[in-house]
Chain A
Amino acid sequence: ELKVEQNPLFLSMQEGKNYTIYCNYSTTSDRLYWYRQDPGKSLESLFVLLSNGAVKQEGRLMASLDTKARLSTLHITAAVHDLSATYFCAPDSNSGYALNFGKGTSLLVTP
């Protein structure tokens, strides 16, 4: 069974600061997805990382994937309040049809 661990689970950071969220998973997976969820809302796809060494950036967020280390990171640069949300990582199961999610990182960006 593919297990996914995210840390930290809760993160409060000041605007303008940088931080990294980590996602470790237990079995081989060659791609990984990051999602964002706002309170009371559904999940929105942020990044699709398709191979080892993949790096994608969108605004103040940058995601990377190291399949050998079974690790993905989501780096936040110069945080702003609008980034406050819960972020989930989900390694592909390789079976083609199931996604296993981490517990999510609840991010709060304060002035």
Chain B
Amino acid sequence: ETGVTQTPRHLVMGMTNKKSLKCEQHLGHNAMYWYKQSAKKPLELMFVYSLEERVENNSVPSRFSPECPNSSHLFLHLHTLQPEDSALYLCASSQTGDRTEAFFGQGTRLTVV
């Protein structure tokens, strides 16, 4: 496997469910990101982890909970979501010391019903 891999690719969940999105990067990067992309808004940066520590949390509701157990894995835990949370969730990684571009996963298309 190379690049950034996200699972699942599609997810339908009820508002009372709990689910998790997974992201894995095979690029040796030290920073990972979660973005939300919806029809109404451009790419919204949700969370940034650098060296496994959360360095940015852009006013994201607590129903979204990130976890970064190591530099290669990033999770987004979801609970009691709202229909307006339906969107494409993109994971990305980069090497902060080199300040090179971020590489994106294929995304998880989330639908909250």
User: By the criterion CB–CB under 8 Å, are A97 and B31 in contact?
Assistant: yes
Report A-chain residues with C-beta under 8 Å of the C-beta of B90: 42-43
Report B-chain residues with C-beta under 8 Å of the C-beta of A103: 42
User: By the criterion CB–CB under 8 Å, are A98 and B48 in contact?
Assistant: yes
Report B-chain residues with C-beta under 8 Å of the C-beta of A99: 33, 45, 92, 94, 102
Report B-chain residues with C-beta under 8 Å of the C-beta of A98: 33, 45, 48, 56
Q: Tell me, in angstroms, the Cα distance from A92 to B97 when the chains sit together.
A: 13
User: By the criterion CB–CB under 8 Å, are A43 and B56 in contact?
Assistant: no
Given A41-B106, A98-B48, the answer on whether A88 and B43 have CB atoms closer than 8 Å is: yes
Verify if A48 is at the interface (C-beta below 8 Å from B).
yes
Range of interface residues on B (Cβ < 8 Å): 20 to 34
Give the one of A33, A35, A42, A102 with max B CB within 10 A: A42
Verify if B96 is at the interface (C-beta below 8 Å from A).
yes
Quote the shortest CB–CB distance from A92 to chain B (angstroms): 6
Q: Tell me, in angstroms, the Cα distance from A67 to B93 when the chains sit together.
A: 25
Dominant secondary structure at the A interface: loop
The interface size of chain A toward B, counting residues with CB under 8 Å, comes to 21
Q: Tell me, in angstroms, the Cα distance from A108 to B45 when the chains sit together.
A: 26
Q: Tell me, in angstroms, the Cα distance from A44 to B4 when the chains sit together.
A: 12
Report A-chain residues with C-beta under 8 Å of the C-beta of B55: 97
Given A97-B31, A97-B94, A99-B33, the answer on whether A43 and B104 have CB atoms closer than 8 Å is: yes
Known: A35-B101, A96-B31. 10 other contacts (CB 8 A): A35-B104, A40-B109, A42-B106, A48-B101, A92-B99, A96-B97, A97-B56, A97-B94, A98-B33, A101-B43
Q: List 14 A-B contacts (CB under 8 A).
A: A44-B104, A45-B101, A48-B100, A92-B99, A97-B31, A97-B48, A97-B96, A98-B45, A99-B33, A99-B94, A99-B102, A100-B45, A101-B43, A102-B42
